[in-house]
Amino acid sequence: MQASALTARELFCRRGDRLLFGGIDLSLESGEALHLVGPNGIGKSSLLQILAGLRRPAFAPEMIPANRGRGSVNWQGSVGLIDERPALDEDAPLAKALGFWARVDNNEATSTDAAMDATGLTMLAAVPVRFLSTGQRKRAAFARLLIQGPDHWLLDEPLNGLDSDGVSLVERLIADRRAAGGAVIVASHQAISLPGCQIVDVRDHPW
């Protein structure tokens, strides 16, 4: 079964006065992966935020006469995002901080304990989030993502600070998600194994 997980058309992005990129079209089938590449500051994170619906595509009436001057993003299913901020309460113990999201997501399938187990954080359940290292925070963000259980994943530099175990863990989680029919978009400077992925270089899409 091949359903189109993501259809994005004519995405333009502007930060302040700077025109970052333009005319990006993306199309992902379920189970596919996409690797976003490009130098720092080219707008990879902005593109992920647009795809997550947190930022509107820039208004570019001269480029897109149709659709009232703005690009569009359409997902089939729910979307989760991991960026550089884990969105966990710094002062709370890890289990409690994740527990908040478990209640918000009300997801019975993946409990907080199971998510911490899957990301190798069980030993740290009682440790306040502010004491976690960069790599442990990244694992905690993945635990939060597993608790949320969205269909599709947007990952902004998912390998930052992770040790080699962590890297293979993330690669395995991504492979599992894709096997379950999810689309995964990764922006990463580090080498990451994404078998059969599309590669989009943001440099190829100037405004």
**Residue 144 in the binding site for another protein (CB under 8 A):** yes
**Residue 108 in the binding site for another protein (CB under 8 A):** no
**Residue 29 in the binding site for another protein (CB under 8 A):** no
Q: How many CB atoms lie within 10 A of CB 138?
A: 25
| The one segment of 21-29, 73-81, 169-177, 198-206 that binds another protein by CB under 8 A | 73-81
**Residue 48 in the binding site for another protein (CB under 8 A):** no
**Residue 43 in the binding site for another protein (CB under 8 A):** no
> Residue 25, Cα to own-chain centre: how many angstroms?
18
Parallel/antiparallel/unpaired status of strands 184-187 and 33-37: parallel
Of 105, 113, 117, 171, the one binding another protein by CB under 8 A: 105
Parallel/antiparallel/unpaired status of strands 198-201 and 33-37: parallel
Of 91, 164, 195, 196, the one binding another protein by CB under 8 A: 91
Q: What's the CA gap between 200 and 34, in Å, rounded?
A: 7
How many residues make contact with another protein (CB under 8 A)? 26
Of 21, 47, 49, 200, the one binding another protein by CB under 8 A: 49
Nearer to another protein, 66 or 109 (CB): 109
**Residue 167 in the binding site for another protein (CB under 8 A):** no
| The one segment of 23-31, 65-73, 102-110, 190-198 that binds another protein by CB under 8 A | 102-110
DSSP 83-133: -S-----TTSBHHHHHHHHHHHHT-SSS-HHHHHHHTT-GGGTTSBGGG--
On whether the CB atoms of residues 183 and 28 are closer than 8 A, the answer is yes
On whether the CB atoms of residues 147 and 78 are closer than 8 A, the answer is no
Nearest distance, CB of residue 71 and another protein, angstroms: 16
**Residue 81 in the binding site for another protein (CB under 8 A):** yes
**Residue 89 in the binding site for another protein (CB under 8 A):** yes
DSSP 134-179: HHHHHHHHHHHHHHH--SEEEEESTTTT--HHHHHHHHHHHHHHHH
Nearer to another protein, 21 or 101 (CB): 101
Residues at the contact surface with another protein, assessed by CB under 8 A: 15, 49, 52-55, 79-81, 83, 85-92, 100-101, 103-105, 144, 148, 150
